[in-house]
Amino acid sequence: MKIRALVVLIVGILGLLTAGCDDGSPARLLNVATTSFAPDGRFSPNPIALTPFTNTGCGGGFAFANPFHLIISAGVHDLTLHHVTIHMIDGTNIGGPSITIPQSEFAAQSASLFIHAGTTHDFVVRPDVGCFTTRPRRLLGNAFLLDPFGVMQTIAFDGTVQ
């Protein structure tokens, strides 16, 4: 029992002594802000432009006039884009109307759905939402991606609408 207590005391003292040797200089600190181990996504531009329509088919409604971009960073594993779901948050309900953009739509416009580990890929989003009468304030989205092991990874992202 005394030996265990002595070992714990010595390890604790050594921990304190070695911690005191760190001068905190930037060269010795680990910087994880420049790289990400997890996949990440964002809309671009943000805020996303929304255009009011005045034609007879849409009346006084709104629609997305221009495509926007979904930029996905893969993190430490290769990923393949499977599909994207976008929720338009307009304040009238909790989840907001949603649309799913299947893999085939991204495959038709991009050379590849594959994102190499440590790289970023830009996907053009052209949501076919028609016209809607309540103006969305935000877009929330989820990108569903497959890793090399066949496990579905989910990235959440959001953007404001102007």
CA separation for the pair 61, 130 (Å, rounded)? 9
In degrees rounded to 5, what are phi and psi of residue 95?
Answer: -85, -25
Looking up tokens 């029992």 gives 1
Parallel, antiparallel or unpaired: strands 79-89 and 114-115: antiparallel
β-pairing verdict for 98-102 and 152-160: unpaired
Q: Are strands 79-89 and 51-52 parallel, antiparallel or unpaired?
A: unpaired
What is the Cα–Cα distance from 64 to 112, expressed in whole angstroms? 25
pLDDT of 145 reads 94
Residue-wise pLDDT tens digits, 88-138: 787 665 655 678 888 988 888 766 899 999 999 989 887 766 666 677 788
DSSP-assigned letter for residue 127: -
Query: 36-160 sits in which CATH class?
Result: mainly beta
